Amino acid sequence: MRTTILPFKGFTAINLLGLLFVHPGVYLSEELMNHERIHSAQQREMLFVFFYIAYLLEWLVRLPMRGNAYRNISFEREAYANQRNLNYLESRPMYAWRRYMKRRPNSYQRKKR
Ligand SMILES: [Zn+2]
């Protein structure tokens, strides 16, 4: 769905309940689509509601920590680490994001999505 309201400023796309919202004019690369598909898989296995609760809680916990809180959320770490691997979802174990919870926070910034 292309809208001007969602996602919020600074973000390219937002995935709500498996529906992808992007600004008009945003190019949907394979990499971006794969990133969002990884989020869809995370949401399904978390029964959607728990995904948003966990995502929000982890973001709040990481806010005062070093680095970019959004980028260090384990759901985002998993999605960013594997978005270039277009076959990732075929072999992804359930709850794979848990492996990304303890990784050292990275402070480098990339384009948000
Ligand atoms: Zn993401």
For the chain, the average pLDDT equals: 89
pLDDT band at 30 (very low <50, low <70, confident <90, very high): very high
Eight-state DSSP code of residue 14: E
Residue 6: inside a domain, yes or no?
no
Provide CB contacts within 8 A for 38, sequence distance 6+: 78, 79, 82, 83, 88, 89, 92
Residue with tokens 């260090």: 72
Residue 13: inside a domain, yes or no?
no
Closest CA to 20 of 9, 35, 52, 10: 35
Residue 37: inside a domain, yes or no?
yes
| Separation of CA 27 and ligand 1 centre (Å) | 16
| Separation of CA 1 and ligand 1 centre (Å) | 17
- Tell me which residue range forms the domain holding 60: 29-100
| Separation of CA 83 and ligand 1 centre (Å) | 10
Cα distances (Å, whole numbers) of residue 16 to 1, 13, 52, 67, 111: 11, 10, 9, 25, 19
How many domains is the chain built from?
A: 1
Residue 110: inside a domain, yes or no?
no
pTM score: 0.85
Residue 17 phi, psi (nearest 5): 55, 35
Residue 70: inside a domain, yes or no?
yes
User: Among 17-31, 32-46, 78-92, which stretch is predicted with the lowest mean pLDDT?
Assistant: 17-31
Spatial distance between the Cα atoms of 9 and 63, rounded to a whole number of angstroms: 18
Residue 48: inside a domain, yes or no?
yes
Find the mean pLDDT for residues 64-69: 92
Residue 41: inside a domain, yes or no?
yes
Residue 90: inside a domain, yes or no?
yes
- Pairing mode, strands 13-16 and 19-22: antiparallel
| Separation of CA 36 and ligand 1 centre (Å) | 6
